[in-house]
């Protein structure tokens, strides 16, 4: 596979991933993240962590 073919394949993969993510993350008309989404992420980043997960089964242990 040539470098050009690899780049084209990567470009196709990026497009496919963007389509998947666009359902989860709000984008504006220009394809950038919406300002409200960025603000909510920055707010969440400043909040105190409620739990930490340690080890393989810690996340699944919460479901019990």
Rounded to a whole number, what is the distance in angstroms from the first to the last CA of the chain? 49
**Pick the residue with more confidence: 8 or 25?**
8
Beta bridge partners of 27: 33
Give the count of domains, the chain: 1
- What tens digit of pLDDT does each residue of 22-38 get? 777 777 777 787 888 88
**Rounded CA gap, 38 and 40, in Å?**
5
Global pTM exceeds 0.85: no
Comparing C-alpha atoms, which of 9, 40, 45 is closest to residue 25? 40
Separation CA 23–CA 46 (nearest Å): 25
Structural domain harbouring 48: 3-61
pLDDT at 7 over 90: yes
């Amino acid at each position: 596979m040539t470098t050009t073919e690899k780049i084209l394949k990567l470009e196709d993969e990026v497009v496919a991933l963007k389509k998947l993510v666009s359902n989860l993350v709000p984008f504006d008309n220009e394809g950038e993240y919406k300002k409200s989404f960025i603000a909510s992420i920055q707010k969440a980043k400043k909040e105190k962590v409620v739990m930490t997960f340690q080890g393989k089964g810690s996340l699944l242990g919460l479901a019990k």
